[in-house]
Amino acid sequence: MELNKIYIQDDIIDYIFNNLFYEDMITFSQINKYTYKKYKDSIKFKVYEFLNNDYKLYKECFKRYKYDEMQIKTMGLIAISEPISIWATSLSGYYDLRYIFELIIVGLDINDTDIVNINKGLNLRIILSTLNGCKSFNRFETIENINREPSLRSLHMLFNPTQSLHLQDRIKKNRIWIHI
């Protein structure tokens, strides 16, 4: 690739790109048509890396990109098969439903046979059904419906987890819980 009459080899460009933060990858990809074509799919599919790991960037992927039905189903299978536990107190644990919420908003079919079969617990099936029942014509109304539903406590606006083995590294890094 040539930048300002200076040729830079592709492997150097790839190395630079792969060592950037997500937001910087987006900016880097917009340098010219070459970088956009080369890296747009790589950036789009980072969503799989953020699934059950980084909600802020996961949510950003859904704001920025559209995913097809099969991609949403694949993400749904991953999110539902490995739900993360979060704790409001030392005695009350919940599933981190934020990732599943984003998938339901964009059209995850919870009645798909693969999704139904991947559910390991009856309580998760009931929670998914309740969450899907809260879905309304827009995000705001859906969140309002969720806040009225006691079984979806981990998605409520006033919910803040106190501890989680999975969240310890992210809490140290971000210091905040990001709500839906």
Structure pTM?
0.85
Q: Work out the mean pLDDT of the chain and round it to a whole number.
A: 86
For 71-85, 141-155, 166-180, which range has the lowest pLDDT when averaged over its residues? 166-180
pLDDT grade, residue 165 (50/70/90)? very low
Amino acid (one-letter) located at 64 = R
**pLDDT value of residue 163:** 58
Tell me 76's DSSP state. Answer: H
Residues 28, 37: Cα–Cα separation, whole Å: 12
> Any idea which residue has 């309304």 for tokens?
136
CA-to-CA separations, 104 to 28, 87, 124, in angstroms, rounded: 31, 23, 14
**pLDDT value of residue 134:** 92
Residues 152, 166: Cα–Cα separation, whole Å: 20
**pLDDT value of residue 176:** 75
The answer, yes or no, to whether residue 26 has pLDDT greater than 70, is yes
Average confidence (pLDDT) over 118-125: 79
Q: Could you report the per-residue pLDDT of 69-95, keeping only the tens digit for each?
A: 999 999 999 999 888 888 887 777 888
The answer, yes or no, to whether residue 174 has pLDDT greater than 70, is no
The answer, yes or no, to whether residue 10 has pLDDT greater than 60, is yes
Of 48, 43, 41, 101, nearest in space to 78 by CA = 48
Domain spans of the chain? 1-44, 52-174
